[in-house]
Structure 1
Amino acid sequence: MTRNWHRLALATISCIPLSLALPAASQAEEVNIYSYRQPYLIQPLLDAFEEKTGIKTNVVFSNKGLGERIATEGENSPVDVMLTVDIGRLSGAKDLGITAPIPAEQLEGTVPAEFQDPDGAWIGLTSRARIVYASRERVEQDSIDYEDLADPKWRGRICTRSGQHDYTLGLIASMIAHHGEAETETWLTAVRDNLARKPTGNDRAQVKSIYAGECDIALGNTYYMGQMETNDKDPEQKEWAASVKLLYPNSDNRGSHVNLSGVVLAKYAPHKEAAMKFISFLTSHQAQGIYAETNFEYPVDPEVPVSERVLSWGTLKPDSLPLHEVADFRKAASEMVDRVGFDNGPQS
């Protein structure tokens, strides 16, 4: 597969079947990748892997349906690995029966147990914290807990994206894991009524709303701050970023909720040996360092330092609750969002 074809496949993925977008199985040293991660985020990693091993990477990107596509393709699937974000999609791949066990002993780097599926169905590669963006002008406090978001003092002052978004569901699921469904539903109802408006937009849009004075705090992922602070194409986002500070919830107790990007080895991978080399590389110090510097994410390998920019935002104490346990409550979280009418916004 040529690099020009690679770009064409990425640009036209919505128009062609995924099974036609990757080459058929061959004996060549190559890895076929389905990726939920956007091309510009993973290209530095692909380039480094190809340079190190000589193994060619063929990538198809889509923002939905990749796991289901692999399940439909079955034994004829051309895919070797799937790259994805969010514990929901990782556990979902396992539930679809499309994964093969990844032997932890074959990984080049160290992945803590809380960032691995206990059966080896997926391996975490990077983490990101679900933190609170707070107005530098209107919020004096420098610490907060997720539980505090239900405090009436925040009435009309909170912005967030949809309750049904994967990132929000992950946080709610973690609250259920820690507090149980009844207490979490009381909390979520109070947070709903503290919203400044109906949940809408992505994480960057929440920071824009704080900048515009529409709300004072918002939920968001850490790495968006790095993307805004370095956005030369849209310099206005640098102004949004400068208007907020990052608060790491629950730093004095259980720690902040984190989510993952991760990788799955396909059950019928036609290039399994090369695929394992790729997965192992992604856990290496080299690859983990690339993630840290270019994507503003936290390496899962505790021996790899975070970037200086990320470190400047504050110290992350991650919640040590295994993410596969959080994933068990995602369905309950989704049902709870609908039950309390979270996406309808304040109701009192």
Structure 2
Amino acid sequence: MTKTTATFPMILAATLGAALPALAAEELNLYSARHYDTDERLYSDFTKATGITINRIEGKADELVTRMKAEGANSPADILITVDTSRLKRAKDAGVLQSVDSELLEAAVPANLQDSDNQWFGVSQRARIIFYDKAAVANPPATYADLADPAYKGMVCIRSSSNTYNQTLLASIVEHEGKEAAKAWAQGVVDNMARAPQGGDTDQLRGIVSGECAIAVSNTYYFARAIRTDVDGVSADIERIGWVFPDQDGNGAHVNLSGAGIAKHAPNRDNAVKFMEYLVSEQAQSYFADGNDEYPVVAGFKGNAAVQKLGVFKADEVDLSAVATKLPVALEIFNQVGWE
């Protein structure tokens, strides 16, 4: 896939700037599985810049995809925005998205963070990394593989196998190492668990503070949020928690996405394209990072102070479109090893 990154700022300026007169008093129907109050500014700024009114329906990703499929050609949906590659794949497989031919999106979003058929594009990203109790762990895991090392038996807290972040992480290991190696890793992690999987990523961090876990796996933005705001059970003792970006001498740290795609039967397709292109603008990319402690997908934009405190890291550049094809294998492995 050919990229023309150098032309991206000029393309963006021309696209948004020229659109204003033609798009006044028009609308966009957004089906969103992102439930962050901080996204309100994102939407209001788009309306202010273009005159396009956003009508938003919120729900869980699978519910929204099911709704779009049931609505068929009569669906009012123009855009689906959701979290994680696994959900974006399910939307594509359900046939509710369409390909987008946009020079701007092609130039802005790295090839590994977009669908091979251009049916979805990443708009923000989070790294899934290792956290540990500084007082209890002298030599923390340096790689994902280390999480399965018997030296850490009874120390690891991680979410359930139904969690999409874990599904995509395991699918990435399948893509890199093959099914048998991924299965051995998953079995090792199960053997090292300090407790049965429970709660969300913040609960894994709370487990370190409570002493129930010495090691936890979480997305970066949960920890950055605890640095920036008061998160119960984490922030007061946050200096106790250390972190490791895994595999810095290898593939790099796994990232997962928030992503968006245009609905197959979008009644306002031109406006939908404008919105997709707005999501990779400097304004929107900066707001993703500042508002929800995420990393931009477009090179050159930095996160807020809390995100920057985590440090610079090498990200895994595996093609997430290819990783998505390994999700059924990942689910099979989870069942085989008894990962609840």
Greater CA drift, 256-265 or 179-188: 179-188
Q: 2:260 aligns with which of 246, 259, 263?
A: 263
Residue of 100, 113, 116 corresponding to 1:115? 113
Q: Distance in 1 between matches of 2:155 and 2:36?
A: 35
Determine the C-alpha separation between the residues in 1 that align with 2:30 and 2:259. Answer: 13
Report the residue type matching 1:303 in the other structure: G
Residue in 2 that maps onto 1:16: none
- Counterpart of 1:176 (choices 174, 177, 180) is 174
Counterpart of 2:241 in structure 1 is 244
Runs of 5+ consecutive residues of structure 1 not aligned to the other structure:
1-26, 344-348
Contact kept, 8 Å, 1:31 with 1:55, in 2: the verdict is: yes
Match status 1:223 vs 2:217 = no
Q: What's the TM-score once normalised by structure 2's chain length?
A: 0.89
Give the secondary structure class of the aligned counterpart of 1:32. strand
| 40-49 vs 170-179, which moves further | 40-49
Whole-Å separation in 2 of the counterparts to 1:97 and 1:284: 28
The equivalent residue for 1:7 is none
Aligned residues: 316
For residues 153 and 216 of structure 1, do their structure 2 counterparts lie closer, same or farther at Cα, with a shift above 3 Å needed? same
Aligned to 2:43: 46
Superposed displacement of residue 231, structure 1: 3.1
Q: Is the 8 A contact 1:107 1:281 kept in 2?
A: no
Aligned pairs (5 A) from 1:132-211: 132-141=130-139, 144-211=142-209
Give secondary structure in 1 for the equivalent of 2:56.
Answer: strand
Q: Distance in 1 between the 2:239 and 2:266 partners? A: 45
One-letter amino acid matched to 1:214: E
State how far apart, in whole Å, the 2-side matches of 1:220 and 1:59 are: 29
| Matched residue, 1:105 | 103
Per-residue deviation, 1:226:
2.0
1:81-100 alignment, distance < 5 Å: 81-100=79-98
Paired letter, 1:174: S
CA displacement 1:90-121 (0-9 Å, x = unmatched): 11111111111122314497111111112110
Q: Residue 109 of structure 1 contacts residue 280 of structure 1 at CA under 8 Å; is this kept in 2?
A: no
Q: 2:309 aligns with which of 298, 312, 319?
A: 312
Write the distance in 1 (CA, Å) between the matches of 2:36 and 2:195: 33
Alignment root-mean-square deviation, CA: 1.7
Question: Following the alignment from structure 2 to structure 1, what is the Cα–Cα distance between the partners of residues 207 and 77?
Answer: 41
Residue 126 of structure 2 aligns to which amino acid in structure 1?
R
Aligned partners of 2:131, 2:36: CA distance in 1, in Å?
27
SS in 2 for 1:246: strand
Relative to structure 1, the CA distance from residue 130 to residue 214 in structure 2 (aligned partners, 3 Å threshold; closer, same or farther) is: same
- 8 A contact 2:227–2:306 mirrored in 1: no
**Quick check: 1:332 aligned with 2:329?**
yes
2:274 and 2:332 mapped to 1: Cα distance?
40
- Amino acid in the other structure paired with 2:198: T
User: Separation in 2 of the partners of 1:240 and 1:96?
Assistant: 44
Q: Which amino acid aligns with 1:316?
A: F
> Helix, strand or coil for the counterpart of 1:342?
coil
| 1:266-305 aligned within 5 A | 266-305=263-302
CA contact (8 A) 2:114 2:120 kept: yes
Whether the 8 Å contact between 2:130 and 2:141 is mirrored in structure 1 is: no
Please state how far the C-alpha of 1:235 moved relative to its aligned partner.
4.8
Q: Which of 196, 211, 214 pairs up with 2:212?
A: 214
TM-score for the superposition, normalised by structure 1:
0.87
User: Do 1:36 and 1:85's aligned partners in 2 also have CA atoms closer than 8 Å?
Assistant: yes
How many percent of aligned residue pairs carry the same amino acid? Answer: 38
CA distance 1:287–1:313, change in 2 (3 Å): same
Report deviation, 1:229. Answer: 2.3
Separation in 2, partners of 1:251, 1:271: 43
SS of match in other structure, 1:199: coil
The superposition leaves residues 123-178 of structure 1 with CA deviations (integer Å, 9 ceiling, x where unpaired) of: 11011111011112222336610011111110000001102210111111111111
**Which residue of 1 is the match for residue 12 of structure 2?**
none
Partner of 1:11: none
Residue identity opposite 2:193 in structure 1: L
DSSP 3-state at the match of 1:128:
strand
Q: Where does the alignment leave 5 or more consecutive residues of structure 2 unmatched? A: 1-23
Contact 1:208 1:240 in 2 (8 A): no
Could you tell me how far apart the structure 2 residues matched to 1:143 and 1:154 are?
Answer: 9
Greater mean deviation of Cα atoms: 180-189 or 306-315: 306-315
Output the CA distance in 1 between the equivalents of 2:207 and 2:195: 10
* Deviations 1:281-303, CA, capped at 9 Å, x for gaps: 00111100011111111111012
Partner residue in 1 for 2:10: none
Partners of 1:265 and 1:275 within 8 A in 2? yes
